[in-house]
Amino acid sequence: MSISQTITDFVTLAIQAGGWMELDRLYLQNRILGMIGADSFETVAPQRVSRSSLDLLDELVDAAVKHEAVKDEPAALEIFEAQLMDFLTPPPSVVNAFFAKHYEKEPKAATDYFFKLSKENDYIKTRAIAKNIIFPAETEYGELEITINLSRPEKDPKQIMAERQAVHVDYPKCLLCMENEGYKGRLNHPARTNHRIIRMNLDGESWGFQYSPYAYYNEHSIILSEEHRPMVISKATFQRLLKITEVLPHYFVGSNADLPIVGGSILSHDHYQAGRHVFPMEKAEIEQYFELSDYPLMNAGIVKWPMSVIRLQSPDAEELINAATDILEKWRNYSDETVSIQAFSADGTPHHTITPIARRKGQLFELDLVLRDNSISDEHPDGIFHPHKDVQHIKKENIGLIEVMGLAVLPPRLNNELKEVEKYVLGESNQMADHHKEWANQMKMTYSFDTTNVTEIIQKEVGQIFARVLADAGVYKRTTEGQAAFNRFIDTL
């Protein structure tokens, strides 16, 4: 296929995306021609485009590298690709107008439009996401979801060195700031030329709605404050979460906790995560109902889950917000030394917060409140309610919102490490990491391995370890003592 045909097809897709008109074809054609460093163009009649935008992008990038219009280096290529895909992305005002027009039909039509655009313009890295290893794991809590995250590209040593030498810039302040929209990017900040944000008004505040470039689940999206401010769980959090479920009733929405160890990876910018996905925790049933003294008509109960989860249901959003706020305040000040639960350190440092998740169930609003505690001890310096040492060979990172709901996001190192574990248990030559040895020996004593079952068994065992990871993060253990302690807290409500 000639490069002229590729440019013609790419321009056709740009016009179809709605940001340009047929009158702009020559202009776009010449802009792209100049970007890829080509000198001549053979006129090709526009026709129906049969190739994907990503295939066309690859051909344009290859031509640019060949003509030395861009360096064949990861950061330079990422910036260049985003600049090309910006042609396929209408300006923010137009994207927001299209979103609003689709929303008039139904909310799902609006998110369908924006999700499709974000994939076709390569803001959502669909090809990178496809590299992730995903498998289910049956446990006593139902089927958990396991992901070994291979989507984020590994940085080569040259890029790491270049990033260290790069001039430090405080713009945008972080990866979630609205100032990322259209930002060119640099060595130590991703390209965002093709990035668009839908503006949302949440109770008089300006917020933005966007998709995650490296999605962990279906329609993984981020809802972020226009103001760069730290995350805080408060009554306003519950108000916003329930408001979002009214605006996007087909999406769940949740917030990471607002304290280190139990919080997410970005605590510096107030934001939530949403999407169109049913997580294992949502499927988990209430195993014990109880009555809230101030809200006798509200459904309230403890969820059968390895972490400590209170589920509230009501058709009245305001009632739900007030009940959740009361529980948050009680939990923030509650201690029970018999089960190592301490609300404050001696110096007054707070240790208690909540990971909240909201969703709609028909006419009901549903709110899950996951109790969190970030205390540490001599025995557990990483966190008393954090993955303990014996499971850190699989997962040692913070347990954030996504893991809380039953989807494990495991580090890329496990892709190769688990292959070596397979070799070890099969008695083959291997380079298995020492930190897997105790686990591997236990499996060898438990199972009879062969080449037909080894992968399935190890994946099953990884799932069991993830269930243990969640249990470690649970403040009330699923023991007689732990559940009695949970009920003592429930009695204060």
32 and 169 assigned to the same domain: no
Where does a domain end: 70, 85, 105?
70
d(CA 468, CA 389): 12
Residue 91 maps to a domain: no
63 and 132 assigned to the same domain: no
Provide the pLDDT for residue 389: 95
Provide the pLDDT for residue 167: 65
Residue range of the domain that includes 148? 126-407+476-491
59 and 206 assigned to the same domain: no
Q: Which amino acid belongs to residue 411?
A: P
Provide the pLDDT for residue 22: 97
d(CA 14, CA 20): 7
Residue 345 maps to a domain: yes
Q: Indicate which CATH number applies to the domain containing 320.
A: 3.30.428
Q: Are 248 and 274 in contact (CB under 8 A)?
A: yes
Candidates 8, 11, 30, 17; CA nearest to 95 is 17
Count how many Cα atoms sit within 13 Å of the Cα of residue 108 in the half-sphere of its side chain.
Answer: 3
Nearby residues of 11 by Cβ (< 8 Å), 6 or more positions away:
25, 28, 29, 32, 46, 87
Contacts 24+ apart (CB under 8 A), 372-377: 372/257, 372/259, 372/262, 372/473, 372/475, 373/262, 373/341, 373/342, 373/475, 374/257, 374/259, 374/260, 374/261, 374/262, 374/263, 375/340, 375/341, 375/342, 375/345, 375/351, 376/261, 377/340
22 and 139 assigned to the same domain: no
Residue 10 maps to a domain: yes
62 and 151 assigned to the same domain: no
Provide the pLDDT for residue 157: 54
42 and 177 assigned to the same domain: no
63 and 164 assigned to the same domain: no
Per residue in 136-185, pLDDT (tens digit) is 999 999 999 999 999 876 555 555 555 556 667 789 999 999 999 999 99
Residue 291 maps to a domain: yes
Provide the pLDDT for residue 162: 58
Contacts 24+ apart (CB under 8 A), 54-60: 54/122, 54/126, 54/127, 56/6, 56/9, 56/10, 56/13, 57/10, 57/81, 57/84, 57/85, 57/122, 59/1, 59/3, 59/6, 60/3, 60/6, 60/7, 60/10, 60/32, 60/35, 60/36, 60/84
Phi, psi (deg, nearest 5) at residue 108: -60, -35
- What total of structural domains would you count in the chain? 2
187 and 260 assigned to the same domain: yes
Provide the pLDDT for residue 300: 97
46 and 180 assigned to the same domain: no
The residues of the chain scoring below 50 in pLDDT are: none
Provide the pLDDT for residue 254: 98
Where does a domain end: 54, 70, 86?
70
Chain centre to alpha carbon of residue 176: 13
For residue 415, the surrounding DSSP H or E stretch is helix 413-425
d(CA 85, CA 65): 16
Provide the pLDDT for residue 158: 58
Provide the pLDDT for residue 188: 86
Q: Which amino acid belongs to residue 456?
A: E
Q: Which pair of structure tokens corresponds to residue 389?
A: 């040492």
140 and 288 assigned to the same domain: yes
Residue 41 maps to a domain: yes
59 and 138 assigned to the same domain: no
Where does a domain end: 29, 54, 70?
70
Provide the pLDDT for residue 170: 86
47 and 195 assigned to the same domain: no
Residue 470 maps to a domain: no
Residue 419 maps to a domain: no
Residue 196 maps to a domain: yes
d(CA 489, CA 383): 21
